[in-house]
Structure 1
């Protein structure tokens, strides 16, 4: 990585952490989308770095909120997500080697669909969903975590439909994201695919992620939650479209 690429990545990670802390959503999507657009590193390596940075962001957020974690829902989701996380990781490994164009399309579509959750928040149900539903969404999130280190979208949609305290939902999601990120990191190390030393300067982003998280708590933007969600929605849609649209003609040409 060149000095300008390192600086750019570090700044992007700080902004993503700031947004994640304000919205409870979008850290991995924003960072992976930015990497896909700028090509500062391969998506497979970026997913590893994103996972490590997710752990940093989650650790800071969990210092105060771990007592609010919903333990039953946490166990259900993790039991379902961990096996599919491994499957998603090896699917990424295959696509990174044989179908990078398709990988860009998948990431772009995931970002766009996930962005819709910011402007179309799920409707609250009158009673909590069944245990099997948490298993289903947990399995889906595991695939996304394995692919892109972004297990959030399906779980955010499902959890925020539940008649549960917002603080408990937020802290439970953070706990799930951090555990998934940790397990994914173990899989990467066991598989021997940790990023090459040339990409290690990206881990300097730990500093900006910590700063971004603290700044969001102490100096939030003077915007309404609705306006903030709309801004993030536009950024995500633009990022997703920029990734997917140029790759579609190439994919069609290959088919």
Structure 2
């Protein structure tokens, strides 16, 4: 990667890490939306890097906290995630070689959906959803994670609708992202996808995201949480619309 592209990507990583810390919305969505939309690196490389960064963050945040999350929830999520990860990675490889415009449109739609999802405040259900619903959400989560390394939107909306303590929801989501990122990284590694470009960008990105996370905790912005959610929503919606427009232009011109 050229120096200018590397610096631009790391700047996006830093912004994404800071916003994720202070607003609580998807690290991967910002990275894939901004860096992928600008084309500073290929989508397969970015998706692999996002998975590695997410896995590292989850490893720090999760130890000791996963106990008590309920085996039925964890198993159901894993049952849905594992097969759909493979499908998602295969689709990414196929579309990156045969239909870049369609791949761009899918990325734009996912980022746009993520932005709308950030702005939603789902009302908790009276009773918890059955186990099969966790498996179904795991299927969608794995597909999104396999395609772009961005597993967040389906799992976030589903988990926040459950009548569970907020800390349990937070840990359940971290575990969900850890399973998705771990399985994706393992599968990509067996396919030879963890190339030198991926490791180089990942090794540069991890300390940058870590530093941005520290800054977010130490120096949060002087505005309310609701204002940060609004900023997050508008940022992702804007990125999603821009990527969709780019994809449509590529589809028409192609």
Q: Does 2:72 match 1:110?
A: no
Q: Residues of 2 paired with 1:215 and 1:189: CA distance?
A: 32
Q: Residues of 2 paired with 1:56 and 1:12: CA distance?
A: 18
Contact 1:48 1:195 in 2 (8 A): no
Contact 2:188 2:194 in 1 (8 A): yes
Instruction: Report what 2:221 is aligned to.
Output: 221
Q: Give, in angstroms, the shift of residue 186 of structure 1.
A: 1.0
Q: Give, in angstroms, the shift of residue 43 of structure 1.
A: 0.4
Q: Residues of 1 paired with 2:84 and 2:133: CA distance?
A: 16
For structure 1, the 5+ residue unaligned runs are none
If the length of structure 2 is used for normalisation, what is the TM-score?
A: 0.93
Instruction: Report what 2:62 is aligned to.
Output: 62
Q: Residues of 1 paired with 2:202 and 2:78: CA distance?
A: 28
Q: Does 2:199 match 1:163?
A: no
Q: Give, in angstroms, the shift of residue 149 of structure 1.
A: 0.6
* Paired residues, number: 254
Contact 1:80 1:138 in 2 (8 A): yes
Q: 1:207 to 1:64 in 2, by over 3 A?
A: farther
Q: 1:252 to 1:159 in 2, by over 3 A?
A: same
Q: Residues of 2 paired with 1:115 and 1:147: CA distance?
A: 18
Q: Give, in angstroms, the shift of residue 67 of structure 1.
A: 4.3
Instruction: Report what 1:7 is aligned to.
Output: 7
Contact 1:41 1:199 in 2 (8 A): no
The alignment yields a C-alpha RMSD, in angstroms, of 1.8
Q: Give, in angstroms, the shift of residue 21 of structure 1.
A: 2.6
Contact 2:45 2:197 in 1 (8 A): no
Q: Give, in angstroms, the shift of residue 209 of structure 1.
A: 1.3
If the length of structure 1 is used for normalisation, what is the TM-score?
A: 0.93
Q: 1:40 to 1:202 in 2, by over 3 A?
A: farther
Contact 1:109 1:244 in 2 (8 A): yes
For structure 2, the 5+ residue unaligned runs are none
Alignment of 1:59-138 (within 5 A): 59-63=59-63, 65-67=65-67, 69-138=69-138
